[in-house]
């Protein structure tokens, strides 16, 4: 039990430094982090993949040694007495730390024993946790057979079995569907309110920052900002607008992103969200050529605006160069009119044994369109996707890609598609140059044509500085660019992108979408899967999938409109998604009851 | 602070549940030993039996028939007749026969003259070991035939030696009796070191080790909870292997079961210590498997005296064998199975095992940290 | 075929050579195994420890003892003066053999009666026991012949004229080292090939390959040819080591050796590709490779003769490519064998290669489509 005398904040970080040796090089994971967090707060540890979030979590939990600095948890110095700290905190690592071959009940028993929870108090505690997490009916199910969201909740229940004073959650929302995500936040709210628990929550989703009391924003091992989310957004006041114009939304976004005085332009909620360099008002009439009817409506700043504003100055030079090198979006013609379907899917079904992964899926994608498949992990979007690329034969149903039936003419169809797999599947041991050369050769390029195409890729994707680096050692954003370059070597007419931006920082994500928009504008058909709700807004049309079925299909605006309710006049994509999934679940339940 | 029994018990229970549900652990502990025992029991034999022999008799008569019949009746040979030496030599060159007995045309004449009639023996020396054994067999047949003839002819015995050989412990000189006890040491190395290293590496891979480390559990409790279940599993595999050896392959077990159990326990501890040490270094199953095979299994296979006699190795290699725990266990096992409770063999080797177990377990404990770096 | 496959081969070789782990597989284990097998794996016995209990203590027995002390194959560790220590010496493995010379040894010799000697052998290591007994018998035989000629007795009517072909000094190393050529070529080729597809599956690049216009056969060739190249290279390195480091005579021509090697490597590559096609992860591929490798080595005749195995097991060895290549490599090295003698070994390997490659191609299609 906590000593009565202990005071001090929940967490105090002073000059925290930690470096790792990787392949002969020293990589600084954290560099001089200072922060203090009050008890009972929800502290968001926010930053893209590779920012140092996990390292910081492990340092706080006493699992790693500090190179320099000092960490105190509840007034106890971690380095001096890790056991005392560990007795009072709970830590859920990534992938939740569950024994997947043990059942739900056995996992709970194990952690109860390890945390010395008295036997007498267990039934009550279990009941409480199982109710809270909704796992009650699944007590004897093997943990490995739970869905991502249920695993996450079981992991949480195991860490909460003896109520910790400080709870560390490392990326608990990765790969989890929006419904489970929302439930997790409800549990966290409950914990801080009723038990006064301090929660440190790491995430790469910037929109989750707004639910925290305090935010530690880290990027490449450095603390970019520290304060309440309100403080972050407050400094952005008067700099955010929604822009509308008669020209296409993607074209408008591309032009706005390149406009002077604008540091960020993204598509959001059916508009283009613009963030200005300063609070000086933007002149709508002259901001963008070719859009005299441009209207700018001020809107409330959000956390991501602040994040981008903080990062942009550092990378402004690179961005300018990128804009200059890329001819694509600004000069391209508007999207090609829908001239017949390029991808046609009819009654597509795929079964694995008794399990139906994809159930009677139908859709069609027109030339030059960006079509999104949106859904949580396990919704069936990857299976659909693999069938479209010819990687998996369908159990039944029809598939036509670029006019070819994939069952009979896979090879000619494959010559017309570009494919970018999840996790940037490059040859990690080969250099950037070798990867480019290999993929261009495999697609039949040779001689001068091959040389020209590689030169184009190096220029377009800014790969020159890393040409001889081994692909494994590239930063994530670089890998993503290289993967896209490799998929484009043969100038495909159709581009398949599987979760192309997961884990990439927001700036790299913007750059990526700028390129995709450019390609679509040039007539390339793009099919993309994503679990980022906001990215769905870049699509012309999208389909929401759950449990192997398409629940709804349409333009982003239409899907959101369908979710409008009295208490939610302007729903976000996430609201719409949750509404669709809940409606489907309710319908299924009603069907089962009837 | 003493380890808290409730936490250790909880971890052990978890380990047993996992073993029960994960077929790969049971496969390494029980199926692999079975396959290895069957393979070695049936597939590997150093005895030269069924030696393929070519017999060339240039002028057959009663004497040559009597001599060559000795080879036909021997259990060691499968004799075939060839018409001339060229044919026989060709058969040897194409690996159809292992040796040639060649009686020239003047054999009977020179024999009767008592003039040391030469019996040509040509042996394929490619497999040196088999060749040496075949040589010995041929010598025995020859000496036996000569003695029998002298006796039958009623001629006074030649001034010769009467050699009686007594092979202790393994009267039939069967290589199976010699290989299978040694094989049990290999099997225990596999379950002890490889399985333990793999299982802990898997906890690192899946992130459960990280979750364990931030609970109140102490590092020595984690080690203890790994040690006990795999000790039990290893001893189970051992018991199965011994039963197979005795009941399926008929290898005699002349020593006491208690001594066997006690020395096996010592070796198991040493093997588990190695497994724990490896798992401290290797945090994924691929690396753990490779280190375990290179650092424990291969030396146990080659440098323990299991197949190859340690004494015929060069001095440097012989020196290295002293740090191979399996060496001591193989010596104990071969004596226990074939000879009995030979204390002069068991005691020093058991002491060496105890020392190695203490060193490995001590090192594993000293290097284990409740930290990720 | 053509350029695309070439690009695939080039990529494959680059990937193997640039990856530290793959390089290790190519260099580490072969080096260790070559050294260990070359030096440690030997059935040759020198200086076998023996003890002698001479109950006679005559001039004749002293002469026999002298023959034992003078022999390079045995070392006399102890001269016993009573029978009590015999058991202890044998039991504790201090000596492998005890020679007991009978009390009436010289009397019997001089009167022309059989003089009795007894050999007590430790049978725990059956092989050592047989060889040791053989050594002792040779020494005793030499003694007996010398005694006969010195004392005017009749020479035996028939004598053995013993010759050993191909390996006159009966060095195990001449047998083992050429075997390592087969062993290591198999290990390395199998690992490289079996892991290559599994590694791509794990990293996700295999999907990337499959969406390119490469055909099934292109991928098969692109994956198989690097394995063959590496296998032949590895074998060449070991052949060089065998000839120049271990001084094993290479009596035959390189043409039959390399023809056999090519067929062998192709057969092993087929097996490796089939394993690769069946496994989803490197772990599984590794396990599959071991599951094939261990029986294949044990049942190849590498260390123990196939003729000693039970008939059913001998049948099994006919589908083992290593069985055939071992005969080829030893035949060429020690026997100077040419195509004529080795023909029966060539075609089974070619058949195995065809079957396994076809199976691998079929399995690729099954897993992939």
CATH of the domain at A104: 3.40.50.300
Binary contact (B177, C304; C-beta < 8 A): no
- Rounded to whole angstroms, the Cα distance separating B30 from B16 reads 15
- Asked if residue A126 has pLDDT above 50, the reply is yes
- Rounded to whole angstroms, the Cα distance separating B30 from A341 reads 58
Other CB atoms within 10 Å distance of the CB of residue C325: 29
- How remote is the C-alpha of B29 from its chain's centroid? 19
Q: Give A423's contacts in chain C (Cβ within 8 Å).
A: 204
pLDDT of residue A560: 85
The CATH number of residue C69's host domain is 3.40.1710.10
The average pLDDT across A385-413 equals 81
Contacts of A217 (CB under 8 A, 6+ apart): A46, A47, A209, A223, A224, A225, A226, A232, A307, A310
Share of chain C above pLDDT 90, in %: 24
Lowest-confidence region among A316-320, A375-379, C41-45: A316-320
Longest dimension (CA), chain B: 95
The average pLDDT across A382-401 equals 85
Q: Is residue A431 within 8 Å of A470, Cβ to Cβ?
A: yes
Last residue of a domain, one of A293, A325, A357: A325
Q: Give A61's contacts in chain B (Cβ within 8 Å).
A: 213-214
- Asked if residue A594 has pLDDT above 70, the reply is no
Binary contact (A93, B371; C-beta < 8 A): no
pLDDT of residue A327: 40
pLDDT tens-digit profile of B28-67? Answer: 788 888 888 888 888 777 777 788 899 999 999 988 998 8
Same domain, A133 and A254: no
A406 touches chain C (CB under 8 A): no
C262 touches chain A (CB under 8 A): no
Domains of chain B: 5-44+174-367 (no CATH), 51-153 (3.40.190.10)
- Asked if residue C155 has pLDDT above 80, the reply is no
Token pair belonging to B277? 């040490």
H-helix segments, chain B: 5-21, 23-26, 32-43, 62-73, 85-93, 107-112, 128-153, 175-189, 196-206, 208-213, 219-243, 257-281, 285-292, 298-302, 315-321, 325-338, 343-367
In a domain, A173, yes or no: yes
Domain region containing A281 = 235-325
Lowest-confidence region among A27-36, A119-128, A318-327, A452-461: A318-327
The average pLDDT across B101-105 equals 91
Last residue of a domain, one of A187, A212, A232: A232
pLDDT tens-digit profile of B227-285? Answer: 999 999 889 989 999 999 999 988 889 899 999 999 999 999 999 999 998 887 777 77
Using pLDDT thresholds of 50, 70 and 90, give the confidence band for residue B356: very high
Binary contact (A427, C215; C-beta < 8 A): no
A81 touches chain B (CB under 8 A): no
Same domain, A128 and A103: yes
- Rounded to whole angstroms, the Cα distance separating C49 from A502 reads 71
Same domain, A194 and A119: yes
- How remote is the C-alpha of B132 from its chain's centroid? 20
pLDDT of residue B358: 96
Output C304 or C153, whichever has higher pLDDT: C304
Q: Is residue A339 within 8 Å of A366, Cβ to Cβ?
A: yes
The average pLDDT across A377-405 equals 83
Q: Is C53 strand, coil or helix?
A: strand
The average pLDDT across B70-93 equals 89
- Rounded to whole angstroms, the Cα distance separating B10 from A589 reads 39
Binary contact (B136, C164; C-beta < 8 A): no
Last residue of a domain, one of C150, C184, C210: C150
Q: Is residue A284 within 8 Å of A295, Cβ to Cβ?
A: yes
The average pLDDT across C284-301 equals 85
In a domain, C162, yes or no: no
- How remote is the C-alpha of B218 from its chain's centroid? 40
Same domain, C32 and C95: no
Same domain, C34 and C59: no
A395 touches chain C (CB under 8 A): no
Q: Which of A93-97, A389-393, B83-87 has the highest mean predicted lDDT (pLDDT)? A: B83-87
Same domain, C191 and C260: yes
pLDDT of residue B263: 96
Tally the domains of chain C: 2
Output A537 or A436, whichever has higher pLDDT: A436
Domain region containing C104 = 48-150
Same domain, C180 and C261: yes
In a domain, C155, yes or no: no
Last residue of a domain, one of A325, A352, A384: A325
Count, residues in chain B: 373
* Per-window interface: B 301-360 vs A, CB < 8 A: none
Same domain, C105 and C175: no
In a domain, A162, yes or no: yes
pLDDT of residue C231: 92
**Mean pLDDT across chain C:** 85
Which residue has tokens 């192709």? C266
In a domain, A171, yes or no: yes
pLDDT of residue B243: 93
Output B366 or A4, whichever has higher pLDDT: B366
What is the separation, in whole angstroms, between the first and last Cα of chain B? Answer: 24
Output A335 or B349, whichever has higher pLDDT: B349
Nearest to B126 among C41, C175, C309 (CB): C175
pLDDT of residue C366: 61
Using pLDDT thresholds of 50, 70 and 90, give the confidence band for residue A525: very high
The average pLDDT across B142-161 equals 69
pLDDT tens-digit profile of A417-441? Answer: 888 887 777 888 888 999 999 999 9
Same domain, C218 and C110: no
Tally the domains of chain A: 3
- Rounded to whole angstroms, the Cα distance separating B129 from B351 reads 34
- Asked if residue C47 has pLDDT above 70, the reply is yes
C15 touches chain A (CB under 8 A): yes
pLDDT of residue A7: 65
Closest CA to A42 of A167, A207, A223: A167
Same domain, C286 and C357: yes
Q: Is residue B167 within 8 Å of B173, Cβ to Cβ?
A: yes
Binary contact (A429, C207; C-beta < 8 A): no
pLDDT of residue A6: 58
φ, ψ (nearest 5 deg) of residue B131: -60, -45
- Asked if residue C225 has pLDDT above 90, the reply is yes
- Asked if residue A247 has pLDDT above 80, the reply is no
Using pLDDT thresholds of 50, 70 and 90, give the confidence band for residue A1: very low
In a domain, A438, yes or no: yes
Q: Is residue C115 within 8 Å of C102, Cβ to Cβ?
A: yes
pLDDT tens-digit profile of C107-151? Answer: 888 887 778 889 998 888 878 888 888 888 888 888 887 887 777
Nearest to C46 among B121, B140, B312 (CB): B312
The average pLDDT across A327-332 equals 38
- Neighbouring-strand partners of residue A240: A275
pLDDT tens-digit profile of A101-123? Answer: 899 999 999 999 988 889 899 99
- Rounded to whole angstroms, the Cα distance separating C15 from C8 reads 10
The average pLDDT across A85-93 equals 90
- Rounded to whole angstroms, the Cα distance separating B263 from A227 reads 64
**Mean pLDDT across chain B:** 85
- Asked if residue C364 has pLDDT above 90, the reply is no
pLDDT of residue B82: 92
Binary contact (A83, B216; C-beta < 8 A): yes
- Rounded to whole angstroms, the Cα distance separating C42 from C32 reads 16
Q: Cα–Cα–Cα angle for A147, A148, A150, nearest 5°?
A: 65
């Amino acid at each position: 039990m906590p000593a009565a005398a202990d005071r001090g904040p929940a967490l105090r970080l002073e000059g925290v430094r930690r470096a790792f040796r990787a392949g002969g090089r020293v990589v600084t994971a954290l560099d001089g982090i200072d922060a203090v967090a009050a008890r009972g707060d929800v502290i968001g540890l926010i930053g893209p993949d590779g920012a140092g979030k996990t390292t910081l979590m492990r340092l706080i939990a006493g699992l790693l040694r500090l190179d320099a600095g000092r960490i105190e948890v509840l007034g106890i110095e971690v380095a001096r007495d890790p056991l005392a700290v560990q007795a009072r905190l709970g830590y859920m690592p990534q992938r939740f730390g569950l024994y997947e071959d043990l059942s739900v009940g056995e996992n709970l028993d194990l952690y109860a024993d390890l945390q010395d929870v008295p036997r007498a108090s267990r039934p009550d505690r279990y009941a409480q946790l199982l109710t809270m997490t909704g796992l009650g009916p699944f007590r004897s199910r093997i943990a490995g057979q739970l869905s991502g969201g249920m695993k996450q909740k079981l992991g949480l229940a195991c860490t909460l079995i003896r109520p910790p004073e400080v709870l560390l959650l490392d990326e608990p929302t990765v790969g989890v569907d929006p419904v489970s995500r929302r439930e997790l936040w409800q549990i966290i709210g409950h914990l801080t309110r009723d038990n006064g628990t301090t929660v440190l929550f790491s995430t790469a989703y910037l929109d989750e920052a707004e639910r925290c009391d305090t935010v530690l924003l880290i990027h490449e091992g450095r603390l970019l900002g520290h304060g309440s989310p309100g403080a972050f957004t407050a400094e952005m006041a008067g700099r955010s607008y929604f822009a509308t114009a008669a020209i296409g939304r993607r074209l408008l976004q591309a032009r706005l992103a390149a406009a002077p005085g604008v540091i960020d332009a993204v598509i959001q909620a059916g508009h283009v969200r613009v963030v200005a360099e300063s609070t000086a008002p933007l002149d709508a009439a002259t901001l963008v050529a070719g859009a005299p009817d441009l209207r700018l409506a001020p809107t409330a700043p959000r956390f991501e605006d602040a994040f981008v504003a903080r990062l942009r100055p550092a990378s402004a030079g690179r961005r300018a160069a990128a804009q200059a090198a890329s001819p694509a979006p600004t000069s391209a013609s508007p999207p090609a009119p829908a001239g017949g379907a390029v991808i046609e899917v009819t009654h597509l079904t795929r079964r694995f044994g008794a399990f139906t992964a994809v159930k009677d899926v139908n859709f069609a994608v027109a030339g030059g369109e960006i079509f999104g498949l949106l859904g949580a992990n396990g919704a069936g979007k990857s299976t659909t996707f693999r069938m479209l690329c010819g990687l998996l034969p369908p159990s039944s149903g029809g598939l036509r890609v670029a006019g070819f039936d994939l069952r009979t003419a896979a090879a000619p169809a494959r010559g017309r598609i570009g494919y970018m797999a999840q996790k940037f599947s490059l040859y990690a041991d080969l250099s950037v140059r070798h990867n480019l050369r290999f993929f261009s050769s495999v697609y039949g390029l040779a001689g001068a044509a091959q040389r020209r195409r590689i030169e184009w890729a190096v220029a377009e994707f800014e790969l020159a500085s890393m040409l001889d680096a081994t692909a494994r050692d590239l930063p994530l954003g670089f890998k993503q660019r290289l993967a896209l370059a490799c998929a484009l070597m043969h100038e495909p007419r159709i581009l398949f992108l599987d979760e192309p931006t997961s884990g990439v920082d927001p700036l790299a994500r913007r750059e990526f979408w700028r390129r995709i928009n450019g390609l679509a504008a040039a007539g390339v058909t793009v099919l993309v899967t994503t679990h980022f709700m906001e990215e769905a807004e870049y699509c012309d049309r999208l389909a929401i999938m759950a449990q192997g079925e398409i629940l709804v299909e349409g333009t982003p605006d239409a899907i959101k409109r369908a979710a409008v309710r009295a208490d939610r006049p302007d729903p976000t994509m996430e609201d719409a998604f949750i509404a669709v999934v809940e409606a489907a679940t309710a319908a299924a339940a009603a069907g089962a009851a009837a | 602070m003493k380890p808290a029994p409730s936490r250790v018990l909880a971890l052990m229970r978890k380990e047993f549940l996992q073993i029960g549900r994960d077929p790969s652990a049971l496969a390494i502990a029980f199926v692999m030993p079975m396959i290895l025992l069957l393979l070695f029991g049936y597939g590997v034999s150093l005895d030269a039996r069924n030696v393929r022999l070519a017999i060339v008799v240039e002028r057959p008569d009663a004497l040559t028939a009597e001599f060559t019949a000795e080879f036909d009746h021997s259990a060691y040979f499968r004799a075939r007749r060839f018409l001339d030496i060229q044919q026989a030599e060709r058969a040897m060159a194409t690996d159809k026969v292992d040796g040639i007995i060649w009686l020239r045309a003047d054999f009977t004449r020179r024999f009767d003259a008592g003039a040391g009639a030469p019996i040509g023996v040509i042996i394929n020396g490619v497999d040196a070991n088999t060749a040496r054994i075949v040589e010995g067999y041929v010598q025995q047949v020859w000496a036996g035939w000569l003695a029998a003839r002298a006796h039958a002819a009623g001629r006074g015995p030649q001034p010769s030696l009467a050699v009686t050989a007594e092979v202790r412990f393994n009267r039939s000189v069967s290589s199976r009796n010699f290989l299978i006890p040694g094989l049990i040491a290999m099997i225990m190395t596999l379950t002890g070191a490889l399985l333990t290293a793999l299982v802990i590496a898997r906890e690192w891979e899946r992130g459960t080790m990280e979750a364990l480390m931030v609970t109140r559990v102490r590092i020595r409790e984690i080690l203890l909870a790994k040690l006990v279940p795999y000790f039990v599993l290893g001893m189970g595999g051992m018991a199965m292997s011994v039963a197979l050896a005795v009941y399926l392959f008929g290898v005699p077990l002349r020593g006491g079961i208690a001594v066997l159990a006690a020395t096996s326990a010592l070796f198991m501890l040493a093997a588990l210590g190695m497994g724990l040490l490896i798992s401290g270094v290797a945090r994924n199953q691929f690396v753990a498997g490779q280190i375990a095979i290179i650092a424990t299994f291969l030396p146990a296979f080659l440098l323990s005296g299991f197949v190859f006699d340690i004494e015929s190795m060069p001095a440097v290699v012989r020196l290295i064998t002293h740090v191979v725990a399996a060496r001591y266990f193989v010596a104990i096992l071969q004596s226990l199975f074939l000879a009995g409770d030979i204390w002069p063999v068991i005691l020093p080797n058991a002491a060496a095992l105890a020392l190695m177990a203490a060193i490995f377990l001590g090192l594993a404990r000293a290097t284990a940290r409740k930290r990720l770096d | 075929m053509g350029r695309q496959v070439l690009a695939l081969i080039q990529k494959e070789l680059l990937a193997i050579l640039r990856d530290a782990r793959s390089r290790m597989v190519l260099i580490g284990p072969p080096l260790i195994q070559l050294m260990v097998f070359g030096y440690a794996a030997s059935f040759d016995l020198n200086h076998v420890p023996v003890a002698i209990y001479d109950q006679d203590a005559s001039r004749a027995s002293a002469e026999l003892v002298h023959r034992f002390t003078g022999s390079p194959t045995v070392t006399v560790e102890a001269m016993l003066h009573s029978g009590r220590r015999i058991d202890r010496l044998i039991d504790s493995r201090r000596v492998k053999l005890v020679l007991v010379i009978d009390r009436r040894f010289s009397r019997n010799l001089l009167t022309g009666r059989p003089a009795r000697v007894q050999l007590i052998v430790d049978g725990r290591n059956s092989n050592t026991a047989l060889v040791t007994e053989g050594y002792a018998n040779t020494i005793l035989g030499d003694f007996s012949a010398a005694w006969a000629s010195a004392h005017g007795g009749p020479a035996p009517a028939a004598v053995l004229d013993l010759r050993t072909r191909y390996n006159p000094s009966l060095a195990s190393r001449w047998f083992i080292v050429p075997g390592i050529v087969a062993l290591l070529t198999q290990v390395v080729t199998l690992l490289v090939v079996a892991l290559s597809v599994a590694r791509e599956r794990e990293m996700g690049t295999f999907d990337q390959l499959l969406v390119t216009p490469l055909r099934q056969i292109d991928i098969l060739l692109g994956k198989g040819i690097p394995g063959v190249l590496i296998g032949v290279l590895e074998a060449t390195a070991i052949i060089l080591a065998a000839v120049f480091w271990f001084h094993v005579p290479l009596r035959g021509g390189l043409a039959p050796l390399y023809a056999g090697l090519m067929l062998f490597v192709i057969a092993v590559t087929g097996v490796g590709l089939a394993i690769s096609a069946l496994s989803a992860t490197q772990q599984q591929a590794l396990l599959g490779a071991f599951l094939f490798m261990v029986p294949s080595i044990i049942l190849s005749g590498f260390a123990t003769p196939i003729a000693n195995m039970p008939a059913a097991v001998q049948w099994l060895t006919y589908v083992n490519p290593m069985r055939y290549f071992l005969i080829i490599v030893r035949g060429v090295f020690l026997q100077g064998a040419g195509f004529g003698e080795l023909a029966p070994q060539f075609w089974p390997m070619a058949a195995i290669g065809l079957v396994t490659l076809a199976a691998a191609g079929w399995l690729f299609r099954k897993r992939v489509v």
